[in-house]
Structure 1
Protein backbone atom coordinates (compact mmCIF):
# COMPACT_ATOMS: atom_id res chain seq x y z
CA UNK A 1 0.00 0.00 0.00
CA UNK A 2 1.28 3.45 -0.94
CA UNK A 3 2.33 5.48 2.08
CA UNK A 4 0.31 8.66 2.58
CA UNK A 5 1.95 11.85 3.84
CA UNK A 6 -0.88 14.33 3.38
CA UNK A 7 -4.63 14.73 3.14
CA UNK A 8 -6.25 17.64 1.33
CA UNK A 9 -9.87 18.42 2.12
CA UNK A 10 -12.60 20.04 0.14
CA UNK A 11 -14.51 22.38 2.48
CA UNK A 12 -18.15 22.77 1.47
CA UNK A 13 -20.23 19.73 2.43
CA UNK A 14 -17.03 17.90 3.29
CA UNK A 15 -15.76 19.68 6.41
CA UNK A 16 -18.53 22.27 6.71
CA UNK A 17 -22.28 21.66 6.54
CA UNK A 18 -22.82 24.09 3.68
CA UNK A 19 -25.99 22.31 2.60
CA UNK A 20 -27.60 23.13 5.95
CA UNK A 21 -26.42 26.74 5.75
CA UNK A 22 -27.84 27.06 2.23
CA UNK A 23 -31.18 25.67 3.43
CA UNK A 24 -31.46 28.35 6.12
CA UNK A 25 -30.42 31.11 3.71
CA UNK A 26 -32.92 29.99 1.10
CA UNK A 27 -35.71 29.78 3.68
CA UNK A 28 -35.06 33.44 4.50
CA UNK A 29 -35.03 34.33 0.81
CA UNK A 30 -38.32 32.51 0.26
CA UNK A 31 -39.98 34.35 3.12
CA UNK A 32 -38.91 37.74 1.75
CA UNK A 33 -39.04 37.22 -2.01
CA UNK A 34 -41.30 34.23 -2.65
CA UNK A 35 -44.28 34.90 -0.35
CA UNK A 36 -46.56 32.46 -2.18
CA UNK A 37 -44.17 29.56 -1.61
CA UNK A 38 -45.15 27.38 1.34
CA UNK A 39 -42.42 26.42 3.86
CA UNK A 40 -42.67 22.75 2.94
CA UNK A 41 -41.24 23.60 -0.49
CA UNK A 42 -37.93 24.95 0.85
CA UNK A 43 -36.28 21.55 0.14
CA UNK A 44 -37.16 22.11 -3.52
CA UNK A 45 -35.34 25.44 -3.43
CA UNK A 46 -32.31 23.76 -1.90
CA UNK A 47 -32.28 21.01 -4.53
CA UNK A 48 -32.56 23.63 -7.28
CA UNK A 49 -29.74 25.73 -5.82
CA UNK A 50 -27.40 22.78 -5.36
CA UNK A 51 -28.08 21.30 -8.79
CA UNK A 52 -27.31 24.65 -10.49
CA UNK A 53 -28.66 23.24 -13.75
CA UNK A 54 -27.17 26.03 -15.86
CA UNK A 55 -23.68 25.53 -14.46
CA UNK A 56 -23.35 29.10 -13.21
CA UNK A 57 -20.90 28.33 -10.41
CA UNK A 58 -18.77 26.16 -12.63
CA UNK A 59 -18.49 29.05 -15.09
CA UNK A 60 -17.08 31.03 -12.16
CA UNK A 61 -14.60 28.30 -11.22
CA UNK A 62 -13.37 28.22 -14.82
CA UNK A 63 -12.70 31.94 -14.62
CA UNK A 64 -15.39 32.80 -17.18
CA UNK A 65 -17.59 35.07 -15.00
CA UNK A 66 -17.26 36.94 -11.72
CA UNK A 67 -18.64 35.79 -8.39
CA UNK A 68 -21.52 38.23 -8.16
CA UNK A 69 -22.47 37.63 -11.80
CA UNK A 70 -22.89 33.91 -11.22
CA UNK A 71 -24.79 34.35 -7.97
CA UNK A 72 -27.16 36.94 -9.46
CA UNK A 73 -27.81 34.59 -12.38
CA UNK A 74 -28.54 31.73 -9.97
CA UNK A 75 -30.86 33.94 -7.93
CA UNK A 76 -32.78 34.83 -11.07
CA UNK A 77 -32.85 31.18 -12.16
CA UNK A 78 -34.41 30.39 -8.80
CA UNK A 79 -36.96 33.20 -9.02
CA UNK A 80 -37.92 32.31 -12.56
CA UNK A 81 -38.63 28.70 -11.63
CA UNK A 82 -40.43 29.48 -8.36
CA UNK A 83 -42.40 32.58 -9.28
CA UNK A 84 -40.24 35.37 -7.88
CA UNK A 85 -39.46 38.74 -9.48
CA UNK A 86 -36.47 39.07 -11.77
CA UNK A 87 -33.74 40.96 -9.96
CA UNK A 88 -31.92 43.99 -11.29
CA UNK A 89 -28.65 45.16 -9.71
CA UNK A 90 -30.41 46.98 -6.88
CA UNK A 91 -32.77 44.11 -6.15
CA UNK A 92 -29.93 41.60 -6.25
CA UNK A 93 -27.89 43.63 -3.75
CA UNK A 94 -30.78 43.46 -1.29
CA UNK A 95 -31.40 39.78 -2.01
CA UNK A 96 -27.74 38.88 -1.59
CA UNK A 97 -27.37 40.81 1.65
CA UNK A 98 -30.15 38.74 3.20
CA UNK A 99 -28.88 35.48 1.72
CA UNK A 100 -25.30 36.10 2.78
CA UNK A 101 -26.22 37.13 6.32
CA UNK A 102 -28.25 33.99 6.96
CA UNK A 103 -25.73 31.81 5.14
CA UNK A 104 -22.63 32.94 7.00
CA UNK A 105 -24.26 32.90 10.45
CA UNK A 106 -25.18 29.25 9.82
CA UNK A 107 -21.67 27.96 9.09
CA UNK A 108 -20.82 24.92 11.23
CA UNK A 109 -18.58 21.88 10.91
CA UNK A 110 -19.99 18.45 10.20
CA UNK A 111 -19.94 16.39 13.42
CA UNK A 112 -17.29 14.02 12.03
CA UNK A 113 -14.88 16.70 10.79
CA UNK A 114 -12.94 17.71 13.87
CA UNK A 115 -12.23 14.19 15.09
CA UNK A 116 -11.09 13.06 11.64
CA UNK A 117 -8.68 15.98 11.35
CA UNK A 118 -7.31 15.36 14.82
CA UNK A 119 -6.78 11.66 14.07
CA UNK A 120 -4.81 12.46 10.94
CA UNK A 121 -2.65 15.07 12.67
CA UNK A 122 -1.98 12.69 15.56
CA UNK A 123 -0.77 10.12 13.02
CA UNK A 124 1.70 12.63 11.60
CA UNK A 125 -0.26 13.28 8.41
CA UNK A 126 -0.24 16.82 7.02
CA UNK A 127 -3.65 18.32 6.32
CA UNK A 128 -4.85 21.31 4.33
CA UNK A 129 -7.78 22.55 2.28
CA UNK A 130 -8.36 23.10 -1.44
CA UNK A 131 -11.63 24.71 -2.46
CA UNK A 132 -13.45 26.14 -5.45
CA UNK A 133 -14.39 29.25 -3.48
CA UNK A 134 -12.37 32.38 -2.74
CA UNK A 135 -9.50 31.92 -0.30
CA UNK A 136 -10.40 34.63 2.25
CA UNK A 137 -14.04 33.53 2.25
CA UNK A 138 -13.04 29.95 3.02
CA UNK A 139 -10.59 31.03 5.70
CA UNK A 140 -13.54 32.72 7.43
CA UNK A 141 -15.66 29.61 6.97
CA UNK A 142 -13.04 27.29 8.47
CA UNK A 143 -12.61 29.66 11.41
CA UNK A 144 -16.36 29.83 12.02
CA UNK A 145 -16.49 26.03 11.95
CA UNK A 146 -13.71 25.75 14.53
CA UNK A 147 -11.21 24.21 12.12
CA UNK A 148 -9.09 27.20 11.11
CA UNK A 149 -6.33 26.46 13.60
CA UNK A 150 -5.80 22.93 12.24
CA UNK A 151 -6.73 23.04 8.55
CA UNK A 152 -4.86 25.72 6.62
CA UNK A 153 -6.55 27.05 3.49
CA UNK A 154 -3.98 26.39 0.77
CA UNK A 155 -5.61 26.99 -2.62
CA UNK A 156 -8.84 28.73 -3.58
CA UNK A 157 -10.38 29.59 -6.93
CA UNK A 158 -8.62 32.96 -6.81
CA UNK A 159 -5.15 31.46 -6.31
CA UNK A 160 -4.66 30.56 -9.97
CA UNK A 161 -7.77 32.23 -11.38
CA UNK A 162 -9.59 28.91 -11.86
CA UNK A 163 -10.46 25.86 -9.80
CA UNK A 164 -11.14 22.15 -9.82
CA UNK A 165 -11.18 19.97 -11.88
CA UNK A 166 -8.08 21.56 -13.45
CA UNK A 167 -5.14 19.37 -12.37
CA UNK A 168 -2.95 22.41 -11.74
CA UNK A 169 -4.90 23.39 -8.63
CA UNK A 170 -4.26 19.98 -7.08
CA UNK A 171 -0.56 20.22 -7.92
CA UNK A 172 -0.39 23.69 -6.39
CA UNK A 173 -2.12 22.52 -3.22
CA UNK A 174 0.31 19.61 -2.82
CA UNK A 175 3.25 21.97 -3.31
CA UNK A 176 1.92 24.22 -0.53
CA UNK A 177 1.21 21.23 1.70
CA UNK A 178 4.75 19.96 1.03
CA UNK A 179 3.73 16.50 -0.17
CA UNK A 180 4.12 14.48 -3.35
CA UNK A 181 0.78 14.14 -5.17
CA UNK A 182 1.32 10.38 -5.35
CA UNK A 183 1.41 10.30 -1.55
CA UNK A 184 -1.51 12.69 -1.02
CA UNK A 185 -5.23 11.99 -0.56
CA UNK A 186 -7.91 14.43 -1.67
CA UNK A 187 -11.40 13.95 -0.25
CA UNK A 188 -14.53 15.82 -1.30
CA UNK A 189 -18.27 15.46 -1.69
CA UNK A 190 -18.39 15.73 -5.48
CA UNK A 191 -17.53 12.67 -7.51
CA UNK A 192 -16.37 14.44 -10.66
CA UNK A 193 -14.53 17.61 -9.60
CA UNK A 194 -13.24 16.11 -6.35
CA UNK A 195 -12.52 12.37 -6.41
CA UNK A 196 -12.12 11.81 -10.12
CA UNK A 197 -10.31 15.06 -10.80
CA UNK A 198 -7.87 14.46 -7.95
CA UNK A 199 -7.13 10.95 -9.21
CA UNK A 200 -6.57 12.29 -12.73
CA UNK A 201 -4.11 14.81 -11.26
CA UNK A 202 -2.07 12.02 -9.68
CA UNK A 203 -3.49 12.11 -6.15
CA UNK A 204 -5.61 9.51 -4.40
CA UNK A 205 -9.15 10.81 -4.86
CA UNK A 206 -11.79 9.82 -2.31
CA UNK A 207 -15.48 10.57 -2.73
CA UNK A 208 -17.40 11.44 0.44
CA UNK A 209 -20.95 10.25 -0.23
CA UNK A 210 -22.74 11.47 2.88
CA UNK A 211 -26.17 10.54 1.52
CA UNK A 212 -25.17 6.93 0.95
CA UNK A 213 -27.14 6.88 -2.29
CA UNK A 214 -24.20 6.50 -4.66
CA UNK A 215 -25.66 9.36 -6.69
CA UNK A 216 -23.53 12.45 -7.30
CA UNK A 217 -25.27 15.83 -7.70
CA UNK A 218 -23.18 16.86 -10.68
CA UNK A 219 -22.09 13.49 -12.08
CA UNK A 220 -24.60 10.81 -12.91
CA UNK A 221 -22.08 8.24 -14.13
CA UNK A 222 -21.98 4.91 -12.35
CA UNK A 223 -18.93 4.26 -10.19
CA UNK A 224 -16.38 2.04 -11.87
CA UNK A 225 -15.08 -1.08 -10.15
CA UNK A 226 -11.80 0.66 -9.38
CA UNK A 227 -13.61 3.51 -7.63
CA UNK A 228 -15.75 1.42 -5.33
CA UNK A 229 -13.12 1.23 -2.58
CA UNK A 230 -12.55 5.00 -2.69
CA UNK A 231 -16.02 5.92 -1.45
CA UNK A 232 -16.72 6.75 2.19
CA UNK A 233 -19.92 7.73 3.94
CA UNK A 234 -18.28 9.64 6.79
CA UNK A 235 -14.92 11.29 7.46
CA UNK A 236 -14.47 8.85 10.34
CA UNK A 237 -13.77 6.21 7.67
CA UNK A 238 -11.04 8.20 5.95
CA UNK A 239 -8.00 7.14 8.03
CA UNK A 240 -8.85 3.49 7.49
CA UNK A 241 -9.06 3.74 3.70
CA UNK A 242 -5.29 4.00 3.39
CA UNK A 243 -4.34 2.38 6.68
CA UNK A 244 -3.32 5.73 8.14
CA UNK A 245 -4.22 4.60 11.66
Structure 2
Protein backbone atom coordinates (compact mmCIF):
# COMPACT_ATOMS: atom_id res chain seq x y z
CA UNK A 1 0.00 0.00 0.00
CA UNK A 2 1.39 3.38 -0.98
CA UNK A 3 1.23 6.64 0.89
CA UNK A 4 -2.30 6.68 2.29
CA UNK A 5 -3.46 4.19 4.90
CA UNK A 6 -6.31 1.99 3.75
CA UNK A 7 -8.04 2.29 7.12
CA UNK A 8 -8.22 6.08 6.76
CA UNK A 9 -9.74 5.81 3.28
CA UNK A 10 -12.43 3.43 4.54
CA UNK A 11 -13.41 5.61 7.51
CA UNK A 12 -17.21 6.16 7.45
CA UNK A 13 -17.55 4.71 3.94
CA UNK A 14 -21.16 3.86 3.11
CA UNK A 15 -20.87 2.47 -0.45
CA UNK A 16 -18.44 0.93 -2.93
CA UNK A 17 -18.08 2.00 -6.56
CA UNK A 18 -16.30 -0.66 -8.62
CA UNK A 19 -14.68 -0.46 -12.01
CA UNK A 20 -15.40 -3.43 -14.30
CA UNK A 21 -12.69 -4.02 -16.90
CA UNK A 22 -9.51 -5.55 -15.50
CA UNK A 23 -10.86 -4.91 -12.00
CA UNK A 24 -13.57 -7.54 -11.56
CA UNK A 25 -13.36 -9.03 -15.08
CA UNK A 26 -10.19 -10.13 -16.91
CA UNK A 27 -10.97 -7.94 -19.90
CA UNK A 28 -7.44 -7.91 -21.29
CA UNK A 29 -7.39 -11.67 -21.79
CA UNK A 30 -10.95 -11.68 -23.14
CA UNK A 31 -10.16 -8.94 -25.65
CA UNK A 32 -6.90 -10.52 -26.76
CA UNK A 33 -8.56 -13.92 -27.16
CA UNK A 34 -11.44 -12.42 -29.15
CA UNK A 35 -9.14 -10.10 -31.08
CA UNK A 36 -6.98 -13.03 -32.14
CA UNK A 37 -10.06 -14.66 -33.68
CA UNK A 38 -11.05 -11.40 -35.35
CA UNK A 39 -7.57 -10.79 -36.79
CA UNK A 40 -7.59 -14.31 -38.20
CA UNK A 41 -10.93 -13.63 -39.87
CA UNK A 42 -9.72 -10.38 -41.46
CA UNK A 43 -6.13 -11.30 -42.34
CA UNK A 44 -6.01 -15.13 -42.41
CA UNK A 45 -2.61 -15.18 -44.16
CA UNK A 46 -0.85 -13.52 -41.17
CA UNK A 47 -1.14 -16.55 -38.89
CA UNK A 48 1.94 -15.78 -36.80
CA UNK A 49 0.79 -12.23 -36.05
CA UNK A 50 -2.81 -12.66 -34.98
CA UNK A 51 -2.31 -12.62 -31.20
CA UNK A 52 0.20 -9.76 -31.39
CA UNK A 53 -2.32 -7.81 -33.48
CA UNK A 54 -4.96 -8.46 -30.85
CA UNK A 55 -2.63 -7.31 -28.08
CA UNK A 56 -1.91 -4.10 -29.99
CA UNK A 57 -5.64 -3.54 -30.44
CA UNK A 58 -6.05 -3.89 -26.67
CA UNK A 59 -3.04 -1.68 -25.87
CA UNK A 60 -4.53 1.04 -28.11
CA UNK A 61 -1.39 3.13 -28.78
CA UNK A 62 -3.54 5.59 -30.75
CA UNK A 63 -5.58 6.21 -27.57
CA UNK A 64 -8.88 5.75 -29.33
CA UNK A 65 -10.58 4.42 -26.21
CA UNK A 66 -9.87 7.55 -24.10
CA UNK A 67 -11.29 9.62 -26.96
CA UNK A 68 -14.41 7.47 -26.89
CA UNK A 69 -14.65 7.75 -23.09
CA UNK A 70 -14.49 11.54 -23.31
CA UNK A 71 -17.39 11.59 -25.79
CA UNK A 72 -15.17 12.78 -28.64
CA UNK A 73 -15.82 9.79 -30.92
CA UNK A 74 -18.61 7.21 -31.18
CA UNK A 75 -18.15 3.56 -30.19
CA UNK A 76 -18.07 2.25 -33.78
CA UNK A 77 -15.60 4.96 -34.79
CA UNK A 78 -13.39 4.02 -31.85
CA UNK A 79 -13.32 0.39 -32.94
CA UNK A 80 -12.65 1.36 -36.56
CA UNK A 81 -9.80 3.63 -35.50
CA UNK A 82 -8.15 0.92 -33.42
CA UNK A 83 -8.47 -1.59 -36.23
CA UNK A 84 -6.98 0.85 -38.76
CA UNK A 85 -4.07 1.53 -36.41
CA UNK A 86 -3.32 -2.20 -36.18
CA UNK A 87 -3.45 -2.53 -39.97
CA UNK A 88 -1.05 0.37 -40.42
CA UNK A 89 1.38 -1.06 -37.86
CA UNK A 90 1.51 -4.34 -39.77
CA UNK A 91 1.59 -2.82 -43.25
CA UNK A 92 -1.86 -4.12 -44.15
CA UNK A 93 -4.99 -2.77 -45.77
CA UNK A 94 -8.36 -2.86 -44.01
CA UNK A 95 -10.67 -4.87 -46.31
CA UNK A 96 -14.04 -3.40 -47.21
CA UNK A 97 -15.87 -6.03 -45.14
CA UNK A 98 -13.42 -5.91 -42.23
CA UNK A 99 -15.78 -4.47 -39.66
CA UNK A 100 -18.44 -7.11 -40.31
CA UNK A 101 -15.81 -9.85 -40.24
CA UNK A 102 -14.40 -8.40 -37.04
CA UNK A 103 -17.76 -8.35 -35.27
CA UNK A 104 -18.82 -11.81 -36.47
CA UNK A 105 -15.62 -13.34 -35.12
CA UNK A 106 -15.06 -11.10 -32.10
CA UNK A 107 -18.49 -11.07 -30.44
CA UNK A 108 -18.93 -14.82 -29.76
CA UNK A 109 -15.27 -15.24 -28.81
CA UNK A 110 -15.45 -12.28 -26.41
CA UNK A 111 -18.58 -13.66 -24.78
CA UNK A 112 -17.00 -17.07 -24.32
CA UNK A 113 -13.78 -15.65 -22.89
CA UNK A 114 -15.31 -13.79 -19.92
CA UNK A 115 -13.68 -14.66 -16.59
CA UNK A 116 -14.31 -13.18 -13.15
CA UNK A 117 -11.21 -12.61 -11.06
CA UNK A 118 -11.29 -15.10 -8.15
CA UNK A 119 -11.01 -12.39 -5.48
CA UNK A 120 -14.25 -10.66 -6.53
CA UNK A 121 -16.79 -12.87 -4.69
CA UNK A 122 -15.09 -12.27 -1.34
CA UNK A 123 -15.39 -8.51 -1.74
CA UNK A 124 -19.04 -8.72 -2.77
CA UNK A 125 -19.80 -11.04 0.14
CA UNK A 126 -18.09 -8.66 2.57
CA UNK A 127 -20.11 -5.74 1.22
CA UNK A 128 -23.31 -7.75 1.64
CA UNK A 129 -22.43 -8.68 5.23
CA UNK A 130 -21.77 -5.06 6.07
CA UNK A 131 -24.80 -3.65 4.24
CA UNK A 132 -22.67 -1.61 1.82
CA UNK A 133 -24.24 -1.08 -1.61
CA UNK A 134 -21.93 -1.83 -4.55
CA UNK A 135 -22.34 -0.06 -7.89
CA UNK A 136 -20.40 -0.32 -11.15
CA UNK A 137 -18.81 2.54 -13.07
CA UNK A 138 -17.20 1.63 -16.37
CA UNK A 139 -15.93 3.43 -19.43
CA UNK A 140 -17.26 0.62 -21.57
CA UNK A 141 -20.60 0.85 -23.35
CA UNK A 142 -23.80 -0.64 -21.98
CA UNK A 143 -24.05 -3.52 -24.49
CA UNK A 144 -20.64 -5.14 -23.85
CA UNK A 145 -21.03 -4.50 -20.12
CA UNK A 146 -24.35 -6.33 -20.16
CA UNK A 147 -22.68 -9.26 -21.98
CA UNK A 148 -20.01 -9.53 -19.28
CA UNK A 149 -22.51 -9.43 -16.42
CA UNK A 150 -24.89 -11.91 -18.06
CA UNK A 151 -22.18 -14.44 -18.84
CA UNK A 152 -20.84 -14.21 -15.29
CA UNK A 153 -24.32 -14.50 -13.75
CA UNK A 154 -24.07 -11.01 -12.26
CA UNK A 155 -26.79 -9.28 -14.29
CA UNK A 156 -29.03 -8.86 -11.23
CA UNK A 157 -26.27 -8.27 -8.68
CA UNK A 158 -25.87 -4.51 -9.10
CA UNK A 159 -28.74 -2.02 -8.84
CA UNK A 160 -26.60 0.77 -10.31
CA UNK A 161 -24.47 0.32 -13.43
CA UNK A 162 -23.10 3.51 -14.97
CA UNK A 163 -21.59 3.19 -18.46
CA UNK A 164 -20.52 5.72 -21.07
CA UNK A 165 -24.07 5.53 -22.44
CA UNK A 166 -25.43 7.00 -19.21
CA UNK A 167 -24.23 10.57 -19.78
CA UNK A 168 -22.49 10.26 -23.15
CA UNK A 169 -19.00 10.24 -21.66
CA UNK A 170 -17.05 8.47 -18.94
CA UNK A 171 -14.20 8.73 -16.45
CA UNK A 172 -12.38 10.93 -15.57
CA UNK A 173 -15.15 13.49 -16.08
CA UNK A 174 -16.23 14.28 -12.52
CA UNK A 175 -19.90 14.21 -13.49
CA UNK A 176 -19.99 10.43 -14.00
CA UNK A 177 -18.72 9.74 -10.47
CA UNK A 178 -21.23 12.19 -9.03
CA UNK A 179 -24.02 10.60 -11.08
CA UNK A 180 -23.12 7.13 -9.81
CA UNK A 181 -23.23 8.41 -6.23
CA UNK A 182 -26.56 10.12 -6.87
CA UNK A 183 -28.05 6.90 -8.21
CA UNK A 184 -26.83 5.06 -5.12
CA UNK A 185 -28.22 7.77 -2.85
CA UNK A 186 -24.89 8.26 -1.09
CA UNK A 187 -22.80 11.42 -0.82
CA UNK A 188 -19.53 11.24 -2.83
CA UNK A 189 -17.45 11.78 0.30
CA UNK A 190 -18.81 8.50 1.71
CA UNK A 191 -18.18 6.40 -1.41
CA UNK A 192 -14.94 4.55 -2.12
CA UNK A 193 -14.08 4.04 -5.79
CA UNK A 194 -11.97 0.95 -6.57
CA UNK A 195 -10.30 0.09 -9.85
CA UNK A 196 -7.14 -0.75 -11.77
CA UNK A 197 -6.69 2.64 -13.47
CA UNK A 198 -4.75 5.14 -11.38
CA UNK A 199 -5.92 7.94 -13.66
CA UNK A 200 -9.59 7.04 -13.93
CA UNK A 201 -10.48 5.08 -10.80
CA UNK A 202 -8.33 6.89 -8.26
CA UNK A 203 -7.25 10.39 -9.26
CA UNK A 204 -10.45 11.08 -11.19
CA UNK A 205 -12.59 9.81 -8.32
CA UNK A 206 -10.68 11.88 -5.78
CA UNK A 207 -11.09 15.00 -7.91
CA UNK A 208 -14.85 14.37 -7.82
CA UNK A 209 -14.85 14.17 -4.03
CA UNK A 210 -14.86 10.39 -3.56
CA UNK A 211 -12.48 8.18 -1.61
CA UNK A 212 -10.36 5.85 -3.77
CA UNK A 213 -8.35 2.64 -3.62
CA UNK A 214 -6.05 1.59 -6.45
CA UNK A 215 -6.13 -2.09 -7.44
CA UNK A 216 -2.47 -2.66 -8.35
CA UNK A 217 -2.61 -6.33 -9.35
CA UNK A 218 0.83 -6.21 -10.97
CA UNK A 219 2.51 -4.53 -8.01
CA UNK A 220 3.75 -1.64 -10.14
CA UNK A 221 3.64 0.93 -7.37
CA UNK A 222 3.36 4.69 -7.78
CA UNK A 223 4.73 7.90 -6.37
CA UNK A 224 1.16 9.16 -5.91
CA UNK A 225 -0.05 9.29 -2.31
CA UNK A 226 -2.86 6.79 -2.69
CA UNK A 227 -4.12 3.71 -0.91
CA UNK A 228 -3.62 0.52 -2.88
CA UNK A 229 -4.19 -3.23 -2.68
CA UNK A 230 -2.90 -6.08 -4.80
CA UNK A 231 -6.13 -8.09 -4.55
CA UNK A 232 -9.78 -7.34 -3.85
CA UNK A 233 -9.88 -9.83 -0.98
CA UNK A 234 -7.40 -7.52 0.81
CA UNK A 235 -10.02 -4.80 0.56
CA UNK A 236 -12.69 -7.23 1.78
CA UNK A 237 -10.59 -8.05 4.84
CA UNK A 238 -10.01 -4.35 5.52
CA UNK A 239 -13.74 -3.66 5.30
CA UNK A 240 -14.50 -6.54 7.66
CA UNK A 241 -11.89 -5.26 10.10
CA UNK A 242 -13.13 -1.68 9.85
CA UNK A 243 -16.86 -2.38 10.15
CA UNK A 244 -17.16 -5.91 11.51
CA UNK A 245 -17.94 -6.83 15.13
CA UNK A 246 -15.03 -6.91 17.56
CA UNK A 247 -13.37 -10.28 17.99
CA UNK A 248 -12.78 -11.44 21.58
CA UNK A 249 -11.11 -14.52 23.05
CA UNK A 250 -13.38 -17.01 24.77
RMSD: 1.9
Q: 2:185 aligns with which of 170, 178, 186?
A: 178
Q: 1:145 aligns with which of 134, 143, 152?
A: 152
Counterpart contact for 1:181–1:202, Cα < 8 Å: yes
* Residue deviations 1:79-126 (CA, integer Å, cap 9, x gap): 2213443243x3212222211221122122111112211111111111
**TM-aligned CA deviation for residue 51 of structure 1:** 2.5
Counterpart contact for 1:210–1:234, Cα < 8 Å: yes
Counterpart contact for 1:197–1:205, Cα < 8 Å: no
**TM-aligned CA deviation for residue 152 of structure 1:** 3.1
Q: Please, what TM-score do these two structures have when normalized by structure 1?
A: 0.87
Q: Please, what TM-score do these two structures have when normalized by structure 2?
A: 0.85
Partner of 2:223: 223
Matched, 1:189 2:186: no
Counterpart contact for 2:32–2:55, Cα < 8 Å: no
Q: Where does the alignment leave 5 or more consecutive residues of structure 1 unmatched?
A: 215-221
CA distance 1:152–1:79, shift in 2 (3 Å): farther
After TM superposition, the structure 1 = structure 2 runs for residues 47-58 of structure 1, keeping only pairs within 5 Å, are 47-58=55-66
Matched, 1:12 2:21: yes
After TM superposition, the structure 1 = structure 2 runs for residues 25-104 of structure 1, keeping only pairs within 5 Å, are 25-34=34-43, 35-38=45-48, 42=51, 44-88=52-96, 90-104=97-111
Q: Distance in 1 between matches of 2:195 and 2:171?
A: 11
Q: Distance in 2 between matches of 1:45 and 1:54?
A: 14
* Residue deviations 1:213-235 (CA, integer Å, cap 9, x gap): 23xxxxxxx432x21xx111111
Q: Which has the higher contact order (CA 8 A, sep 6+)?
A: 2
Counterpart contact for 1:198–1:204, Cα < 8 Å: yes
Q: How many residues align?
A: 232
Q: Distance in 2 between matches of 1:211 and 1:170?
A: 25
Q: Distance in 2 between matches of 1:140 and 1:102?
A: 12
Q: Distance in 1 between matches of 2:146 and 2:160?
A: 6
Please give the secondary structure, in 2, of the residue aligned with 1:38: helix
Please give the secondary structure, in 2, of the residue aligned with 1:186: strand
Q: Highest CA radius of gyration, 1 or 2?
A: 2
Q: Distance in 2 between matches of 1:30 and 1:113?
A: 31
Partner of 2:126: 119
Please give the secondary structure, in 1, of the residue aligned with 2:125: helix
**TM-aligned CA deviation for residue 244 of structure 1:** 4.3
Q: Distance in 1 between matches of 2:213 and 2:132?
A: 16
Q: Distance in 2 between matches of 1:20 and 1:244?
A: 35
